[in-house]
Amino acid sequence: MRRLAATTVALATCGLVLSACGTAADDDKAADKVECKPTKIEGDPKVALAYDVGGRGDQSFNDSAYAGLEKAKGEFKVESTEGEANQDEDEAAREERLRGFAEDGYNTIVGVGFAYSESVNKVAPDYPNVAFAVVDGFDPDKTVNCNVAYLTFAENEGSYLVGAAAALTSKTGKIGFVGGVNNALIQKFEAGYEAGAKAADPDVEVTSTYIEQSDPKGFGDPAGGKSAAEGLYSDGADVVFHAAGGSGAGVFDAAVEAKKWAIGVDSDQFKTASAKQRTRILTSMLKRVDVATYDFIKSVVDGKPSSSYTTFALKDDGVGYSTSGNFLSKDTIAKINEYKDSIISGDTKVPEKP
């Protein structure tokens, strides 16, 4: 498999939502088991949603978190607010945003994206009666703050299914992957995608490229996404899967122009893309950030705020794939569901690294 650096993509073509895209550290996860009692929040739940780069309207990661908030508001009538992230903001800005929410009386705070891991780790001890959560988060120094929940996903499992869909749909025997930033989290998407494709067709050629090697701007760069996808299509790929947040819009545009297939990520992007883009979105890898966000808010409403790590996987519908558009054949869907059952049963182990 060939992996291209961002600079290579730019040269070859002449040419931010952190999460879809985000980077969870390749973390051991809480080495020391700490027995935590549920956080006792003060007053009725008041929810603050701190967005990742790209913010609401990214048609992906952030919008999915917002959907979870909206569901919770509809069911529990909780008061809420939202905060946008700036593309080039530093750690201090994230800390200030979180502290501002807490000082304003918001006792349920969700950071959307791994980038909030460090800031939540620093801020949470100062507000022991506030329940914090970080989507795609990790405990930076394994201090285990009992008022922090890390909401993680088995992205590799969902990506395995769309990898199989790509290989079973491809006519050229070549498919591609575009990652926003080359980090441990996005490599999970890549690893699952390639494994699923190879399971469906051992001879399929999978080429991967990243918009950025470390800069989070790779998740908010539609032009970079389009350039990366154009390079893959021109090399013969006829299906390209993106895990690039807001940059995925550019991948879809490239698919429209090339008259080839693209695969969405996080939410069912067939439902949120433009009319032209929808004609080229084969399927989407569903990462249920909405479910994770809703479940965390519900745990606070129930008086038992979640803490430590929770992983959402295929077995609990935390990840999956979409069939909107009806572009997948019945035979392909049947085969994908066989792979799904095999993963859930434990018969198939999906790698987390390429």
How far is Cα 280 from Cα 289, in angstroms, rounded to an integer? 24
What distance in Å separates the CA atoms of residue 242 and residue 181, rounded to the nearest whole number?
11
| pTM above threshold 0.85 | no
Quote the CA–CA distance of 296 and 150 in Å, as a whole number: 10
Torsion of CA 35, 148, 101, 291, to 10 degrees: -120
Q: Say what the pLDDT of residue 81 is.
A: 97
pLDDT of residue 19: 38
pLDDT at 85: 84
> Which of 348, 61, 9 lies closest to 207, judged by CA?
9
HSE at residue 106, side-chain half, CA atoms within 13 A, is 25
Q: What is the pLDDT of residue 263?
A: 98
For CA atoms 183, 185, 189, 195, give the dihedral sign: positive
Instruction: Give me the amino acid identity at 144.
Output: V
Instruction: Give the chain's domains with CATH numbers.
Output: 3-16+155-287+319-345 (3.40.50.2300), 46-154+290-315 (3.40.50.2300)
Q: Provide the token pair at 114.
A: 């791994």
Q: Write down the residue that tokens 């949603």 correspond to.
A: 49
For 225-249, letters b (16+ CB in 10 Å) and e give bbbbbbbbbeeebbbbbbbbbbbbb
- The strand ranges marked E within 97-248 are 108-112, 131-135, 148-153, 174-181, 205-212, 239-243
pLDDT at 66: 94
Question: Distances in Å between the alpha carbon of 266 and those of 189, 290, 298?
Answer: 11, 9, 21
Taking only the tens of pLDDT, the chain with its 354 residues reads: 333 333 333 333 333 333 333 434 444 444 445 677 878 888 899 999 999 877 787 777 888 899 999 999 999 999 999 998 887 788 999 999 999 999 999 999 999 988 899 999 999 999 999 999 999 999 988 777 899 999 999 999 999 999 999 999 999 999 999 999 999 999 999 999 999 999 999 999 999 999 999 888 898 899 999 999 999 999 999 999 999 988 999 999 999 999 999 999 988 999 989 999 999 999 999 999 999 999 999 999 999 999 999 999 999 889 999 999 999 999 999 999 999 999 999 999 999 999
Helices (H) and strands (E) in the chain, counts: 11, 13
Q: Which backbone phi and psi does 176 adopt, to 5 degrees?
A: -135, 165
Alpha-carbon span 70 to 171, nearest angstrom: 41
d(CA 144, CA 121): 9
Residue 29 has a pLDDT of 45
